[in-house]
Chains A and B, each alone.
Chain A
Amino acid sequence: KAGVTQTPRYLIKTRGQQVTLSCSPISGHRSVSWYQQTPGQGLQFLFEYFSETQRNKGNFPGRFSGRQFSNSRSEMNVSTLELGDSALYLCASSITGGRPNEKLFFGSGTQLSVL
């Protein structure tokens, strides 16, 4: 069974641009979450999607948005990029995200550099 797949692996953008990151969850998983990882702030929850609906949201500005498609694949978008948005963006999936002890599987992430 393939794991969580994130594309692209690396991305370089300039300030003010926008970026879209893609995530394909494990087959059969319907919950997709996004996390930002930086050396300074660590791992921070961005949002979670289930059945094409945002179910949970972290404390990030509105420039960060996401969506989920009917096949559970998800994309996140960051508009008007700032230098501080440079980070490893991780996608994680689970079967439903709604049951205790349900395992969460992470992808290898997209490393975004904003110049």
Chain B
Amino acid sequence: QQQVKQSPQSLIVQKGGISIINCAYENTAFDYFPWYQQFPGKGPALLIAIRPDVSEKKEGRFTISFNKSAKQFSLHIMDSQPGDSATYFCAASKAAGNKLTFGGGTRVLVKP
């Protein structure tokens, strides 16, 4: 059972453009929603995270939007740069703890 669905699977954006990745979850017990960035040959690295009591969180060029009623959250990458080309994963977990349920990943390519 895929509890976190992520779309699109891949994305091509021009330098300076906006990348948008969407995730939907099923388990209402989830209350921690991180996004990870993974480069080839490396493990995932935490990018930004949100809890459901907040509808939006911004850190630099990265913004998470959260819609609790729709059970959806999204990552926006503003002013996308070639160095942002990577695979992005959304995830969810119940409260504290490291048992993360990951989405399927989105491969982002930023063209110069």
Contact = CB atoms under 8 A, between A and B. Distances in A.
Contacts of B98: 31, 33, 48, 56, 92, 94, 97, 104
Task: Bin the interface of chain A by size.
Answer: 20 to 34
State the main secondary structure of chain B at its contact with A: loop
* Size category, B interface: 20 to 34
Given A42-B102, A42-B105, A43-B102, A100 B45 contact: no
Contacts of A21: none
A62 to B, nearest CB: 18
A99 interface: yes
Interface in B19-39: 32, 34, 36
Contacts of A4: 43
A55 B97 CA distance: 9
B44 interface: yes
Given A97-B96, A98-B96, A100-B95, A45 B101 contact: yes
A56 B99 contact: yes
A31 B99 CA distance: 11
Contacts of A43: 44, 89, 91, 100, 102, 105
A109 B41 CA distance: 8
B97 A56 contact: yes
Interface of B: 32, 34, 36, 41-46, 49, 51, 89, 91, 95-105
Interface of A: 4, 31, 33, 35, 42-45, 48, 55-56, 58, 90, 92, 94, 97-109
